Amino acid sequence: MDFSVVFNEAHLKFLWDGLLVTLEVAAAAIVLSFILGIILGTLRYTRLPVISHLATLYIEVIRNLPLLLIIFFGWFGLKEWGVELPITMSVILSMTVFTSALVAEIVRSGLNSVDRGQIEAARSQGFTYLQTLNYIIMPQALKRMIPPLVSQFVALIKDTALAVAITLPELTHNAQIIYNKYPVAAIPMLLFVALIYFVINYSLSLASRRLEKKLAG
C-alpha cells in the first residue's frame, strides 16, 4: 500500500486544516449542547406544567430525526428562509440542536437515578426545591452522567464527518478531495483519517474513565 500521497507535505497541511475545522465544530457543539442539554433535561425532570412539556416535545422530535437531515435543514433550510450562516456556524448549530436532545435525556435519567431519600432528607432540612436540585441531586447525578455523556460526545466528534454532505471543509471532506484527485490513495487516506479519529476519541474515553475513577474515589 502506497502512503506517499498521504505523507506529502501539502496534503498533510490540507488534512491538518480539515482536522482543525472538525475540532472547532466538535468543541463548540460539545460545549453548547452540554449547556442546552442540562437546561432541557432539568426542565423535563422538574415536571413544571407547560415548560416541562415543551422540553419533552423538543427532545422527542429531535432525537427521532436523522442527524443528516438536521444538518440539511441547518444549511439549505435556513438559507431558504433567508438566514445566511457561515457553513461552520450552520453545522455547529445543527449538531448542537441534535446532541442537546440526547444530552437532555442523559441528564434526566441521571437526575432520576438519585435516590428519593436524598430529596426527602434535603427537603426535611428546609432546602427549597432549587437548592435541593443544586446542592444534593445535581452533583450526584453529574457523576453518573459522565460515561454516557462521553459516549455521546465521541459520537458527536465522529458525526461531524456527516457534514461532508454539505461540503464543510473538515477532515473527512479534505481527505476526500485529495483521494478524488489520486484514486490509488483512497484506502491509505481513509486508513490514516480513521487513525486520527480513533486516537482522538479513544483518548477521550480514557480520560473520562480516569475522571470517573477519581470522582468515585
Partner 1 sequence: MILGPSGSGKSTLLRCINKLETISEGELVVDGFKVNDPKTNINLLRQEIGMVFQHFNLYPHKTVLENITLAPIKVRKMNPEEAKKIALEYLKKVGIPEKADAYPSQLSGGQQQRVAIARGLAMKPKIMLFDEPTSALDPEMIGEVLDVMRTLAKEGMTMVVVTHEMGFAREVADRIIFMDEGQIMETGTPEEFFNNPKEERTRQFLSRILKH
Binding region for partner 1 (CB under 8 A): 115, 117-118, 120-128, 131, 135-136, 139-140, 143
Residue pair 166/71 in contact by the 8 Å Cβ criterion: yes
Residue pair 152/99 in contact by the 8 Å Cβ criterion: yes
Nearer to partner 1, 2 or 120 (CB): 120
Nearer to partner 1, 118 or 167 (CB): 118
Nearer to partner 1, 48 or 194 (CB): 48
Compute the distance between CA of residue 55 and CA of residue 32 in angstroms, rounded to an integer: 16
Compute the distance between CA of residue 141 and CA of residue 56 in angstroms, rounded to an integer: 19
Residue with C-alpha cell 444530552? 103
Residue pair 72/103 in contact by the 8 Å Cβ criterion: no
Nearer to partner 1, 60 or 115 (CB): 115
Shortest separation between residue 88's beta carbon and partner 1, angstroms: 38
Shortest separation between residue 115's beta carbon and partner 1, angstroms: 8
Degrees, nearest 5: CA angle 178-181-185: 65
